[in-house]
């Protein structure tokens, strides 16, 4: 007899993107040529002035522990950045630096929910939400994102399911995987619904700097929501820093002690030199960010129009992030089957919408965070392969 694992680990499974990446890598090792449209990370390098600040920080000896909530100058710079982006007033006392957006989400969930609590979350949605809800023994209440509302919440389901038992609502706008943004009227209705209740909101706004429409509204920027809301975010996407691992939480000061203790025991602190790199990012020029978003906009136009020209595909134009979420229901096959077929027969790695929850069935997720050359080749391979179905 061998010792068994804790029961809670039963719910853990691979994330679609990593699973497809490893399958694609095996095929590549066997000599197959694969175009990668599955990966959710900017293909741009980290801007030089940011990378250099990180290197300089190491050379200067910023290689030791720092406070669990992060170094004060960075907490101040993040507070200033959040205040100006969201047009609100946040102080460094509200900010915790974390070693990734994912850790920010985990920490917030650990602080807020208990076994049996009902948690609403977007479906299709970032897989980490659902996994952590299960892991913490809470009750999933998926809220469908619907195509006809440009992938905002299905508010009829929200109204039906929202009750005294709802302990937490997770929002993510712009969204992974749809690229959609939540409608302002929906966000306002949610803010109104949670007033004077025991319900928290976590708003994941990690893609807030990658938007293509003035219609984007930040939930965190709505009046009167801050006292029951935790903003989780990070720098992976904005500054092309996925491998640096740094994010943050902005939360009411009354819960910051507990966030501090959770981070103390979970991670100790976020890497010190990485925080100095982010200081350079926040205080430095934003030209590279602007150019990256401009290039994403150009690619989005190409991908959306090419997909819409293919018989059987309907691809809404997303207002943010770097994903499209085409509807492939007319092929009458499971999305996972189509994704696998495109990988094995077509040589294109992309994700099945169902990797993001049951309401993602009938869709594919394509990341356009790759070169135009790759996109052109990838789209052509999709066109040829789907034409054979
Ligand atoms: C919606 C969303 N939130 C959070 C993250 C986590 O990002 P990171 O842990 O790299 O900061 C991601 C990454 O893909 C994401 O798509």
Task: Check whether 15 has a pLDDT greater than 90.
Answer: no
**pLDDT tens digits for 164-201?**
999 999 999 999 999 999 999 999 999 999 999 999 99
Whether the Cβ atoms of residue 269 and residue 263 lie closer than 8 Å to each other: yes
**pLDDT tens digits for 65-121?**
999 999 999 999 999 999 999 999 999 999 999 999 999 999 999 999 999 999 999
Question: What's the 101 CA to ligand 1 centre distance in angstroms?
Answer: 5
What percentage of the chain exceeds 70 in pLDDT?
A: 100
Tell me, yes or no, whether 357 lies in a domain: yes
What percentage of the chain exceeds 90 in pLDDT?
A: 96
State which of 15, 102, 175 you would mutate to test the pocket of ligand 1, scoring each by most atoms of that ligand within 8 A of its C-beta: 102
Tell me, yes or no, whether 131 lies in a domain: yes
Question: What's the 131 CA to ligand 1 centre distance in angstroms?
Answer: 14
Q: What's the mean pLDDT when you consider all of the chain?
A: 97
Task: Check whether 13 has a pLDDT greater than 90.
Answer: no
75 lies in the same domain as 107: yes
Question: What's the 312 CA to ligand 1 centre distance in angstroms?
Answer: 31
Q: What is the pLDDT of residue 19?
A: 85
The CATH number covering residue 322 comes to 3.90.1150.10
Which residues approach ligand 1 with their CB closer than 6 A?
40, 100-102, 126, 172, 176, 204, 206, 234, 236, 242, 247
Q: What is the mean pLDDT of residues 315-343?
A: 97
Q: Out of 17-31, 190-204, 354-368, pick the least confident.
A: 17-31
CA-CA distance, 344 to 381, in Å (whole number)?
Answer: 12
Shortest CA distance to 354 belongs to which of 123, 130, 139, 173? 123
Q: What is the DSSP string of 106-139?
A: HHHHHHH--TT-EEEEEES--HHHHHHHHHTT-E
- Per DSSP (E only), the strands in the chain are 35-36, 95-98, 118-123, 139-146, 152-153, 166-172, 200-204, 229-234, 247-250, 323-324, 348-349, 351-352, 364-367
Nearest atom in ligand 1 to the alpha carbon of residue 105 is 4
Question: What's the 16 CA to ligand 1 centre distance in angstroms?
Answer: 14
Neighbour count for residue 302 (Cβ, 10 Å): 14
Treating both helix axes as pointing N-terminal to C-terminal, what angle do 127-135 and 101-112 enclose, rounded to 10 degrees?
30
Q: What is the mean pLDDT of residues 342-354?
A: 97
Q: What is the pLDDT of residue 282?
A: 98
Q: Read off the pLDDT band of 336 (50, 70, 90).
A: very high
Question: What's the 104 CA to ligand 1 centre distance in angstroms?
Answer: 10
- Nearest-CA residue for ligand 1 atom 14 is 40
pTM: 0.97
354 lies in the same domain as 218: no
Q: What is the pLDDT of residue 212?
A: 97
Q: How many domains does the chain have?
A: 2
278 lies in the same domain as 292: no
Q: What is the pLDDT of residue 85?
A: 95
Q: What is the pLDDT of residue 240?
A: 97
CA-CA distance, 339 to 364, in Å (whole number)?
Answer: 7
Domain residue limits at 236: 48-283
Whether the Cβ atoms of residue 233 and residue 247 lie closer than 8 Å to each other: yes
Q: What is the pLDDT of residue 14?
A: 82
Question: What's the 27 CA to ligand 1 centre distance in angstroms?
Answer: 27
Tell me, yes or no, whether 243 lies in a domain: yes
192 lies in the same domain as 325: no
- Nearest-CA residue for ligand 1 atom 1 is 176
327 lies in the same domain as 246: no
Nearest atom in ligand 1 to the alpha carbon of residue 234 is 11
34 lies in the same domain as 57: no
Neighbour count for residue 277 (Cβ, 10 Å): 28
Helices and strands, number each (H, E), in the chain: 12, 13
Tell me, yes or no, whether 262 lies in a domain: yes
**pLDDT tens digits for 111-128?**
999 999 999 999 999 999
Question: What's the 15 CA to ligand 1 centre distance in angstroms?
Answer: 12
Tell me, yes or no, whether 2 lies in a domain: no
Q: Read off the pLDDT band of 386 (50, 70, 90).
A: very high
Q: Read off the pLDDT band of 16 (50, 70, 90).
A: confident
Whether the Cβ atoms of residue 88 and residue 226 lie closer than 8 Å to each other: yes
338 lies in the same domain as 204: no
99 lies in the same domain as 231: yes
CA-CA distance, 124 to 47, in Å (whole number)?
Answer: 32
CA-CA distance, 339 to 204, in Å (whole number)?
Answer: 27
Q: Is 5 helix (H, G, I), strand (E, B) or coil?
A: coil
Nearest atom in ligand 1 to the alpha carbon of residue 175 is 1
297 lies in the same domain as 185: no
Of the residues 283, 302, 327, which one is the last residue of a structural domain?
283
118 lies in the same domain as 186: yes
Q: Read off the pLDDT band of 335 (50, 70, 90).
A: very high
- Nearest-CA residue for ligand 1 atom 16 is 176
Q: What is the mean pLDDT of residues 215-228?
A: 96
CA-CA distance, 45 to 288, in Å (whole number)?
Answer: 10
Tell me, yes or no, whether 41 lies in a domain: yes
């Amino acid at each position: 007899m061998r010792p068994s694992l804790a029961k809670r680990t039963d719910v853990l499974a691979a994330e679609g993107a990593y699973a497809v990446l490893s399958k694609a890598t095996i095929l590549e090792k066997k000599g197959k040529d694969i175009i990668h449209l599955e990966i959710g990370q900017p293909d741009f390098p980290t801007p030089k002035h940011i990378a250099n600040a990180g290197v300089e920080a190491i050379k200067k000896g910023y290689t030791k522990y720092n406070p669990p909530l992060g170094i004060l100058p960075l907490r101040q710079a993040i507070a200033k950045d959040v205040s100006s982006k969201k047009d609100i007033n946040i102080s460094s006392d509200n900010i915790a630096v974390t070693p990734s957006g994912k850790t920010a989400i985990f920490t917030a969930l650990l602080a807020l929910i208990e076994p049996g609590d009902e948690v609403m979350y977007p479906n299709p949605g970032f897989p980490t939400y659902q996994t952590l809800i299960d892991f913490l023994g809470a009750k999933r209440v998926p809220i469908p994102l619907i195509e006809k509302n440009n992938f905002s919440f299905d508010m009829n389901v929200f109204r039906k399911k929202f009750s005294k038992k709802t302990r937490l609502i997770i929002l993510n706008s712009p969204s992974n995987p749809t690229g959609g943004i939540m409608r302002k009227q929906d966000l306002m209705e949610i803010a109104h619904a949670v007033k004077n209740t025991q319900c928290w909101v976590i708003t994941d706004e990690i893609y807030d700097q990658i938007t293509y429409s003035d219609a984007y509204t930040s939930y965190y920027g709505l009046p009167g929501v801050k006292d029951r809301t935790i903003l989780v975010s990070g720098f992976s996407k904005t500054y092309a820093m996925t491998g640096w691992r740094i994010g943050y939480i902005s939360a009411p000061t009354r819960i910051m002690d507990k966030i501090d203790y959770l981070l103390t025991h979970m991670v100790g602190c976020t890497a010190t030199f990485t925080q100095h790199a982010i200081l350079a990012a926040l205080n430095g020029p934003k030209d590279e960010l602007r150019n990256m978003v401009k290039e994403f906009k150009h690619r989005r136009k190409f991908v959306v129009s090419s997909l819409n020209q293919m018989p059987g595909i309907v691809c809404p134009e997303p207002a943010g992030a770097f994903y499209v979420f085409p509807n492939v229901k007319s092929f009458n096959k499971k999305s996972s089957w189509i994704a696998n077929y495109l990988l094995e027969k077509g040589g294109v790695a992309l994700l099945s919408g169902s990797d993001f929850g049951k309401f993602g069935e009938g869709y594919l997720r394509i990341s356009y965070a790759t070169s135009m050359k790759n996109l052109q080749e990838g789209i052509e391979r999709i066109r040829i392969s789907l034409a054979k179905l």
